[in-house]
Chains A and B, each alone.
Chain A
């Protein structure tokens, strides 16, 4: 804007000072965002057109990495399938189970503090430790779970050692750590105005009708939030699947030894694991970067789709 009158320069200086101050406050993030997000994202795109094994000089290969990843790489299909399976099944069951436990906790009168803590505690177990524990508990031959199932005369599955049961076992592990969703749902359920329940009761509403017409409408934003964050987390699902597969395979991993990820039968191989395997075990940088971008597009696509409805992430005043 052209400054013509006398008070304008002072005002402009004030504005500039203000802008510098905002920039100053934002500077840690501005630097971090460009260096640890912007640069690597662009570089990932660039590398996806190169053949580069991290030793020889990179050479330009056009779309070869992309056609390899999308059409020729045998593990791409299973990895994508597993990740999508987990996104659908794990997220859905976690939300339902979390809501159930949240409801349960709001209904419990005696020992409420004990139950809350008991339900919450497993969420705190570090993922690696929890996975190691579950691989032990669900060990087909020597684990206590199959011991108990056997003595009750129930069928004892092979859990992490059976391709059909490995992903359900991971889901079970994720349900054990439901504490985060329980707390969120508990808070949401306690926020539902009591008068509405009383009014519904006067109208003769049963338990289901009260849930359907009073509880559900007021907690849908939280349910949506749980779905969005669940989808985002499950897209990156890595540690538990990797550790479970490695330990259940029983292969002892010395330094330098390379094992096929996704034991048994690639049933626990997720897209992030495949990226790691391509980039850091096969040193196929170009293909790993192409696959990274596939995951990026998937994650961003799903997120924008779900965020369209705001999902409680951005307050309305923005």
Chain B
């Protein structure tokens, strides 16, 4: 692994006069390779990061400057953020987003754990069919079943205009979470369950005392995914909460914020930053669980 030390002292690799020694040529191609890879990486990083930079810079401009195409703010108007926060409804949207994402995640985890455990551990007739149905539910576009569901919530239960039609179903198992958690549980050696049984643990106690602590990374991953799903959800609030602005979430409110402030790109960008910020903060605190979760989706097949 001498190659790893090379980039720190690139000048030495270029030292001339080593009369065509193959080692020097090897070093030189390796240096060129290093430069090429990192040049591409820097270009890619600009593509991924510049939108955030422009977004932030615009969020502290004046109205006029935000429309002008200038890139750097003349003066830093932090008060834009205060204006966004004091916009009527904005704090309600925050509260609703937290409620939807928080309670929704809690419900999802509580209902997904036993189902995933049963699908991972028990052998029973129809297990394969059950798995296929879970996957089919995952694949189904949510728009396919939304109309009858909406009619039930609107006409029989009179709960539209709130977030309950979105939160309640999460107490009954979310297919994606069940699938992911089951994949994770399959990696726990069955001997742990056997020895717990020998010690006289019932199934429920085995699940709560042995499996849940061991499956913490998997549970953290599905909790994060579900939190992000709820936080980002636009379709759900649009269907069930659109008629009542007091029940809107940030993701849904943001678009109407833009429409209401159609010329104030600066305020819209400040609001956009405020919608992105929590998710990115959560990511930095839970990076490991998150990346593990993403890899779980693909690699553990």
| A binding-site residues for B, Cβ under 8 Å | 19, 21-22, 24-26, 28-29, 31-33, 35-37, 39-41, 43-44, 47, 54, 101, 104-105, 107-111, 114-115, 118-122, 124-129, 132-134, 136-137, 141-144, 146-147, 176, 180, 183-184, 187-188, 191, 221-222, 225-226, 229, 232, 235-236, 238-239, 242-243, 246-247, 250-255, 271-272, 275-276, 279-280, 285, 288-289, 292-293, 295-296, 299-300, 303, 307, 311-315, 318
Q: Which of B53-89 contact A (CB under 8 A)?
A: 54-55, 58, 66-69, 71
Q: Which of B23-51 contact A (CB under 8 A)?
A: 34, 37-38, 40-41, 44-45, 47-49, 51
Query: Beyond A29-B172, A36-B145, A104-B40, is A127–B140 a contact (Cβ under 8 Å)?
Result: no
A-contact bits for B143-164, CB 8 A (1 contact / 0 none): 1111111110000000000000
Q: Answer whether A191 and B44 are a contact pair too, CB < 8 Å, given A108-B37, A232-B139, A253-B256.
A: no
Select which of B114, B275, B299 is within 8 A of A188 by beta carbon.
B299
Q: What's the nearest-Cβ distance from chain A to residue B30, in Å?
A: 10
* Complex: A122 Cα to B283 Cα, angstroms: 12
Q: Does chain A have a CB within 8 A of B17?
A: no
Q: In the complex, which residues of chain A have a beta carbon less than 8 angstroms from the beta carbon of B295?
A: 183-184, 187
Distance, CA A299 to CA B275, complexed state (A): 31
Given contact pairs A280-B239, A299-B139, A225 touches B231 in the complex (Cβ within 8 A): no
What are the residues of chain B within 8 A of A114 when measuring CB–CB?
A: 45
Enumerate chain B interface residues (CB-CB to A < 8 A): 3-4, 7, 34, 37-38, 40-41, 44-45, 47-49, 51-52, 54-55, 58, 66-69, 71, 111-112, 114-115, 117-119, 122, 124, 128, 130-131, 133-151, 169, 171-173, 178, 183, 186, 203, 228, 231-232, 234-235, 238-239, 243, 250-252, 254-256, 258-260, 262, 265, 268-269, 272, 275-276, 279-280, 283, 291, 294-295, 297-299, 301
**What are 26 A-B residue pairs whose CB atoms fall within 8 Å in the complex?**
A22-B124, A24-B114, A29-B178, A33-B173, A36-B169, A36-B172, A37-B137, A39-B148, A44-B144, A105-B41, A115-B44, A121-B280, A122-B51, A126-B250, A126-B251, A128-B234, A136-B268, A184-B299, A232-B139, A247-B258, A275-B143, A275-B146, A276-B238, A292-B143, A292-B144, A312-B298
CB distance from A58 to the nearest CB of B (A): 10
Task: Decide: A187 and B298 in contact? CB cutoff 8 A.
Answer: yes
Is A101 a contact of B147 with CB atoms below 8 Å? no
Interchain CB contact under 8 A, B117 and A25 = yes
- Chain A residues closer than 8 Å to B280, beta-carbon distance: 121, 124-125
The distance from the CB of A254 to the nearest CB of chain B, in whole angstroms, is: 8
Contact, CB under 8 Å: B294 / A176: no
Expressed in whole angstroms, the Cα–Cα distance for A96 and B118 within the complex equals 37
Contacts of A247 in B (CB 8 A): 255, 258-259
Name the A residues within 8 Å of B231 (CB-CB): 126
Q: Which of A24, A115, A133 has the most CB of B within 10 A?
A: A133
The residue that A137 contacts in the complex, of B54, B66, B130, with Cβ under 8 A, is: B54
Contact A222/B298 with A22-B124, A28-B171 known, Cβ cut-off 8 Å:
yes
Q: How many A-B pairs with Cβ below 8 Å?
A: 275
Nearest CB on A from B40, distance (A): 6
Are B52 and A121 neighbours in the complex by a CB distance under 8 Å?
Answer: yes
Contact of A313 among B37, B135, B143, B151 (CB under 8 A): B135
On chain B, the residues within 8 Å of A126 by CB distance are: 231-232, 250-251, 275-276, 279
**A236 with B148, Cβ < 8 A, contacts A32-B169, A36-B172, A128-B275 known:** no
The residue on A at minimum CB distance from B117 is A25
Residues of B within 8 A of A183 (CB): 291, 294-295
B271 CB to closest chain A CB (Å) equals 8
Chain A min CB distance to B66 (Å): 8
B234 CB contact (under 8 Å) in A22, A36, A239: A239
Contact of A121 among B48, B117, B298 (CB under 8 A): B48
Contact of A134 among B51, B67, B255 (CB under 8 A): B51
CB-defined contacts of A25 to chain B, threshold 8 Å:
114-115, 117-118, 122, 203
A133 to B275, CA, bound (A): 11
- Return B65 CB to nearest CB of chain A, in Å: 10
Determine which residue in B37, B52, B228 has the highest number of CB atoms from chain A within 10 A of its CB, and name it.
B37
Could you tell me if B148 and A44 are in contact, using CB atoms closer than 8 angstroms?
Answer: yes
Which of B48, B117, B140, B283 contacts A296 (CB under 8 A)?
Answer: B140
With A26-B118, A40-B148, A125-B276 already in contact, the answer to whether A108 and B38 are too (CB < 8 A) is yes
Given contacts A144-B69, A303-B136, 10 further A-B contacts (CB under 8 A): A22-B118, A35-B172, A104-B41, A120-B291, A127-B234, A127-B251, A142-B265, A146-B69, A251-B259, A313-B135
